[in-house]
Chains A and B, each alone.
Chain A
Amino acid sequence: MKKRDAPTNSPRLSIHTSEEKFALALVTPAFLITVLIVLIPLLYAFYLSFNRAEVIVVGGQGGLVTEFSGLRNYLYFLSSADFWYSVRTTLYFTVASLAVELVLGIIVALLLNEEFRGRGLVRTLLILPWAVPTVVNARMWGLIFEPHAYGALNGLLQTLHLLGPERTINYLAPIPLFQNAPLLGELTSWLGVTRGLTWIIVADTWKTLPVVALLLLAGLQSIPLDLYSAAKVDGANAWQRFWLITLPLLRPIILIVLVYRTMELFRVFDIIYILMAYTIPVLGVVTFQQSFVFGNFGKGAAIAFLIGLLVLLLANGYIRLIDLEERE
C-alpha cells in the first residue's frame, strides 16, 4: 500500500493552506467589525428583550439598568390589539408600495430599455430622487401636501382649475379610505388604510422608484435579443413578447427586488414619523416610541425582534419562490 505523504510535504496542499490563511487574513477584519457592530449589539438587544430596561444615572455615571422579566415584553405586544393593528397597517404600506413600485418600475425600465435620443441623460436623471435624503424627501412632500391653498399640490390643482378657488384637499388626513362605503369602509378602517398613508406611499415611491427601475433595467438588458426576434418571426405581438418572454426572464430580478424592498418597507420609519408623527402607528414608529420616548428599551427590543421575525417569514416565502424558480 502506498503511504500517504504528510500534508506538510505536499507543495500543493501547502499552497492551499497558505491561500486559506491569506483568505482568512483578508476576511478577519471585516468579520471582527461585523461582530462588533452587528452581532454584539444584536445579542445585547436580544438579551434586553427579556428584561425590563431603562436608562438611569447613578453616582454621575449613566447606563442601562435591567431586570429579568422573561417573555413579558413579547406577550405584552402579542396580546395587544394595538400591536396587531400596527402589523396590518405596516403590511398595507409594504404590499401597496411594492405593487406600485413594481408596476411603475417595470414600465420605466421597459421605456429606458428602448433606443431613443437622450436615453443616457434620462437614465442619469432618473437616479436623482434616490439621491435625496429620506428626511429631505419627507419635508419636501410635507410642503407639497400642505392642506391649504398655499400648499404646492393644492396650488397647482387650483391653477389648473381642477380644484375650485375655495377647495383644498387635506392629503394627509388620517381618515380611512371609502369610510362611508358599507363593508369596504370597515375593512379599510380595520387595515389602517387611510388617505394620509396612501399619499405617503406616493411620496415614498417617488424616491425609491429609480432604484427599482434601474435594477429591473439591468435584468432586462440580460435578456437575449434573439428571443424577441424569434418571437416576432413566430408572429408574437408586443403584449405576448412581454408576457411570455420579458416577464418570465425578469422573475429572478423581480424576486430580488421584492426581498430587498420588503425588508426596507416593513421597517419604514422616517417618512411616516416626519409627516405624521404618531398618527400612523407602523411598527417602526411604535418601536421608536417604546424605546426612546417611553424609555422602555426592553419592550423596544422585543418589538424590534418581532419585526425581524415577521420580515424573516416574508423573506422565507420569497426565498422559497427563488428556489422554485431555480429548480424550474
Chain B
Amino acid sequence: MKRVLWLNWFSLLALAAILLSACGTPTPTVAPLPTEDETLVLHALYMNQAGYSEEVLQEMAQQFHADNPGVGINFTFVKYDELHDKIVTSAAASTATYDVILLDLIWTAEFGHKGYVIPLDARITEEQKADIAPAIFDAFIYNGQLWAFPFLANFQNMFYNLAHLQAAGFDGPPATLEEWYAQMVALKEQGIVKYPYIDSWNRKEGLVCDYVRTAAQFGGDLFDENGQPIMDQGAGLRALQFMRRLLDEELADPAALTTDEPGAMNALISGAATFNTNWTFVRGNMLDPEKSNIVAAARTGLLPTAEGVAAPAGTVSGFQGLAVMANSDKQAAAWRWIQFATSAEVQQQHLESEFPIWSSLQNSEQEQEINPDAGFYATNLANAHHRPKVAHYPEVSAIIQEEVHDCLLQIISPEEATAEMVQRINALEE
C-alpha cells in the first residue's frame, strides 16, 4: 500500500515538473563550437526522395566529423511532403528539434516572414556570391535578406526516348513547343506508344511546378513582378489550355492525374511513354540498367518554348537550400556544417549525384565528362522560372492545385479555372 501511495506522489511530482518545465522553458542560448574532446550533435532534416542520397550525405557527415571532431551530424530523412510539417513543428518548440533544415525555395517567404530561420547575409562572402548564378541566390531572398544557402540546383528537364522518336521518323527532340506537339501526334498516330507524354499531375505541389514550367515554355509567368496573379491571361492561360489539350487528345497519359514525379519517371523508364518533363533525379535512374528498360535510348534535352518566345528553353526551379533554425541553440556549428556541405570542394566530389550549384563547377571539364547533358542542364537552369514568393504560399499553391486539377479532370474549362484562381488568390490577399 505504502509503495502504491509513494508511486502516486511520484506521479504527482512528475506531472508538476513537466507542467512547470513546459511553462518556463528558458530561451535557448547559442552554444559555442565544441572543443575537440566534446561532442556536439547537430540534428539535420533532409529528404530521401530526390537530391543527394542518404549514403552521400552520410559520407559528407563523416568527412565533416573528421575535420570537426567535436561535431556529429544526426540526420532525419523524410519524404518531401513531410518536410514542411516537420519544420513547422520544430519551429513551434521553444528549442528547435532540428538545427539545420532543407528549405525548398517556395518556403523562403513564409519561413523568413515568421522568423523560423535566421538570415545569412552577414555570413556569405563576395566570392561565393560571384560563383553562384543570381537566379539561384534570388530564390532564397525575401525582404532583401538571404534565408538559406543554395544546396541543390534542382530544376525540370525534358527526358525522352530517342528510339521512339526515330521509329516515328524524327532525328531528335523538338526544338519548339509546336514541334513537340507534332511529334506527340505522330507517335500516337503511328501506334508507337499509346500516350506519348507522362507528367506528375496529381493534386500536389508538383502540379503547380508543371503549370509554372508550361507557362515558362510559353514565355511567361503566373504572377507579375508585384506578386499579383495573372494566370487568366497570356502565358498562364495558354499553358493550361495546352495541358488540357494534351489530355483531351490523349497525347498525355490520363494516369498523370494520379501520378507523382517518381511514378511519371517509371512510365518513361519502363518504355510506356516517350516524353517526361521531370526533375534532375530522373537522369541517374533512366541510365541505370537495374532500373531502366531504355538505357540506350534515354536522353536529356531542352524544354522547348513556343514559337515567338525568345528564350531557348523554359523551365521551373526547384532549388533547395540549407537553413539554420532560429530557435536552434547550435547555430554556429549549424552554419559550419552548411558551409561544408554546400562548398564547391564537397560538391565536386559528388558530381555524379547532383548538378552543382557553383557556376565554376557547372562549366568545368570534370562536369562535362561526368554529365554529357550538362550543356542542356545549364541552358534549362538559366531559363528557370520561380514559383511566387508570398508568405501564404501554401494556400496559394492549394488553390492552383485544385483549379488546375479540376480543369484537367474536364470539370471546368481553362478559362474558368484561371479566372477562379485569380479571384480566390486575390481574396486571400484581402
Contacts and interface: CB of A to CB of B under 8 A. Distances in A.
Interface of A: 22, 25-26, 28-29, 32-33, 35-36, 54-64, 146-150, 166, 168, 170, 172-175, 196, 276-279, 289, 292-295
Nearest to A151: B255
What's the dominant secondary structure at chain B's contact region? helix
B285 to A, nearest CB: 15
B398 A147 contact: no
Given A29-B11, A294-B394, A61 B92 contact: no
A36 B13 CA distance: 13
A147 B88 contact: no
A29 B6 CA distance: 11
Contacts of A149: 272
Nearest to A296: B395
B202 A22 contact: no
Nearest to A196: B258
B91 A57 contact: yes
Interface string B370-407: 00000000000000000000001011001001100100
A289 B204 CA distance: 12
A46 to B, nearest CB: 18
A276 B202 contact: yes
Contact of A61 (B89, B94, B194): B94
Contacts of B11: 28-29, 32-33
Q: Which bucket holds chain B's interface residue count?
A: 35 or more
Contacts of B279: none
Interface string B80-96: 01001100111111111
Given A36-B15, A62-B91, A294-B398, A55 B27 contact: no
Given A25-B1, A29-B7, A147-B258, A61 B202 contact: no
Interface string B1-29: 10011011001100100110000010110
B185 interface: no
A147 B270 CA distance: 13
A295 B270 contact: no
Interface string B254-283: 110111100100110010100000000000
A32 B270 contact: no
Contact of A57 (B5, B15, B114, B258): B114
Contact of A278 (B8, B204, B260, B395): B204
Nearest to A33: B11
A51 to B, nearest CB: 15
Contact of A172 (B84, B96, B115, B258): B258
B146 interface: no
B240 interface: no
B327 A277 contact: no
A57 B203 contact: no
Contact of A150 (B115, B266, B392): B266
Nearest to A30: B11
A25 B398 contact: no
